[in-house]
Every structure is written in structure tokens, then in C-alpha cells.
Amino acid sequence: MLRRNIRLRREYLYRKSLEGKERLLYENKRKIKEALEEGKAIPTELVNEEAALRQEIDLEDEHTAVPKTHIDDEYANAAEKDPKILLTTSRDPSSRLTQFVKEMKIVFPNAQRMNRGGQVISEIIGTCRAHDFTDVILVHEHRGEPDGLIVCHLPFGPTAYFGLLNVVTRHDIKDKKSMGTMPEVYPHLILNNFTTKLGERTANILKHLFPVPKLDSRRIITFANQSDYISFRHHIYEKHGGPKAIDLKEIGPRFEMRLYQIKLGTVDQNEAQNEWVIRPYMNTAKKHNVLSTAHPIESSFETTKRLKPTIKRPSKAS
């Protein structure tokens, strides 16, 4: 198994090293194609390669014209099988963090929770690779409050690092009857306002944590981006009357996420290259959003907040 993982890793790095050559070849073919369409002369640096490149252009179709990248290879097998996720925490977790992870286990279908104990990250990643896990999620805390979420895709990455804010668990809500039980059916996903390249990359990482749901599923999970803060909400809906009479009910948990790093590798690889990382000057650029091109606007998700959802923050008196 160890030799197999080493071989697969070498093949992945080799494919990644060829990207520069493939990108240069793609640019040369694009220049020749534009010159032929506009009736201009072939660029002088491409005259000797014109015949071979035109032959390759004639053999291409819409699937082979644009070169694939290592980003395409990361989720190439995602449609073949459902995701299999391992959930764990930092060492010596508090009772609140343990309760939060138990709820997140139901949020993610096909997830398994593991007590961290004294295991190191490299051992966890190696075991998950051997048992065909697709993702590892680690949840961290600070003084008993969950404050970090790491999503590591296997076997080769990427790894996304999120900060957690305003975490409200189902355990915090006293009115259990109005909240109801949490179904385990595969949910529908709403990914709102991820319009930039980095936003699409983030949405791609999040959506592959969930399998394809059935059409009649009444469970909805929302990732709504506003000002680079991703709001996570969990709802179910019921049809009591006609098709327009829909009762939307929030069942928790709820929290906000903020992306601060994406790494091209697994969480145990300290030498892995950073695809994107937040910088100190980005915190002061309030009008610049990295996950969406538009200015913060009231999304369709924000209208659901006016419906007075069931989950509320516990009062200070309690």
C-alpha cells in the first residue's frame, strides 16, 4: 500500500509538471487559430511549427481543446462514488466541541466520527488513504468555542482552511420540540454568490463533500457568501397545502465560515504549495471581495432570515 501511494503521488506530480508545456502549446495553437480566422499572417515565431499545430487543431474537439490541470484531476473520480468523510477534532476536545462534531457527522452524509486521542495527523491521513476515504475534516477550538475547520481532500489534496464564527449548535437550543429531529437523507445544496475563480474553487471543494440527492429530498443545506463570509444554514421544508404553501424550518447547526488558505496538498504535507492565502492587507480592503465580483448585496438566502427561524441564540440570562 505504501509503494502504491508513492507511485500515485509521483504520477500526480509528473502530470502537474507537464502543465506548463501544455499551456504553452495551447497558447501557440490559439494564436494560429486567431490568425487564420482574422486573415492575418502567422506570427514569425510559429512559422516552423504551423503545419504540425494546424494538424493538431483539426483533430481537437470541445473536450480536448482546453488543457486539463491538476485541479481537474483532484475531483476526476468524484462522480463514480459517493464521498466518504472522516470527522475528528484537535487533541483533548471540550464537551462543546465534541457535541458540535457529533452534529456535523449528521450534516455530512456517509461521515464517520473518530476520537482523536494521541494520533498524529500523518497517521490519520495514511489510514484514511488505505480505507478509501475521500475527505478528512478536522475541527479546532479556542477556549471551548469551535473556531477552525480544515477540509482535506484525499489522496492528493487540496486542503482548505476556514475560520468559524458565531457557532450555534442544536444543543444550545432549549425548545427541542419546535426544532424537530435532523433527517439523514441526502440534502440539496445552495451555493450562493461564488462568482470569482477563487469562489468557484471554494464552492467546488464544499460541494464535493455531499453526494447527489434524490429529487424528492426535503433537506436543504446553504452556503451563502456575503463579503467573503460564508453563512452555513440547514433547513427542511414541508408542503402543507398547495405547491406554493411551503413551510421552511431551520434545524441547525448554524455558523459562519471565512476562508484563509488553500493548499495544493494534504494537511500533513508541510512542503505543499499554497494556492491562495489571505494576507494582512486584505483585511483592510473592505470593498474588495475575493470570493465574489459583485458588491455585497442582499442574497436570496438573507430573505429566509425574515421568516424568524426556529434557532435563536441563547439569552444571557440562560
Q: Which three cell numbers stand for residue 186?
A: 441526502
Give the amino acid at 205: I
Contact (Cβ atoms closer than 8 angstroms) between residue 214 and residue 186:
yes
Q: In a structure prediction context, what are the per-residue pLDDT tens digits for the chain, which is 318 residues long?
A: 667 777 777 777 777 777 777 778 888 888 888 888 888 888 888 888 878 887 777 777 766 666 666 566 688 778 788 999 999 999 999 999 999 999 999 999 999 999 998 999 999 999 999 899 999 999 999 999 999 999 999 988 899 999 999 999 988 877 777 777 888 999 999 999 999 989 999 999 999 999 999 999 999 999 999 989 999 999 998 887 776 778 888 888 999 999 999 998 899 988 888 989 998 776 665 567 888 886 544 433 333 333 344 444 444 444
What end-to-end distance do the CA atoms of the chain give, in Å? 53
- Tell me the C-alpha distance between 22 and 46, whole Å: 16
CA dihedral of 260, 261, 267, 273, whole degrees rounded to 10: -160
Q: How many CB atoms lie within 10 A of CB 290?
A: 17
- Tell me the C-alpha distance between 83 and 197, whole Å: 24
- Tell me the C-alpha distance between 235 and 182, whole Å: 9
Residue 193 — left, alpha, or beta (φ > 0 → left; ψ -120 to 50 → alpha)?
left
